[in-house]
Amino acid sequence: MLTELVAEIGWKHMGELLSINCFLSDPSIQSSLKFLRKTPWARAKVEKMYLERIIDFKK
């Protein structure tokens, strides 16, 4: 899910949309996954954005 979002919209845009620092300050898949696993509110935001993109894609 995270790799698809990064490929589609990039770290910078994800950080702007979600205001999550791990996407703006030296982002990587590993550090972001570590943060998202420990932070339920952030994980929920990323999951919501992913699901919204899937719904928009199917339209």
- Predicted local confidence at residue 53, as pLDDT: 86
- Predicted local confidence at residue 55, as pLDDT: 77
Give, for all 59 residues of the chain, the pLDDT tens digit.
999 999 999 999 999 999 899 999 999 999 999 999 999 999 999 999 999 888 776 65
Q: Which amino acid is at 56?
A: D
| Cα 20–Cα 10–Cα 29 angle in degrees, nearest 5 | 65
Domains of the chain by range and CATH? 2-58 (1.10.720.30)
- Predicted local confidence at residue 16, as pLDDT: 93
Q: Which residues, other chains included, contact 14 with Cβ-Cβ below 8 Å and sequence gap of 6+?
A: 5, 6, 20, 23, 46, 49
- Predicted local confidence at residue 15, as pLDDT: 93
Q: How many CB atoms lie within 10 A of CB 19?
A: 11
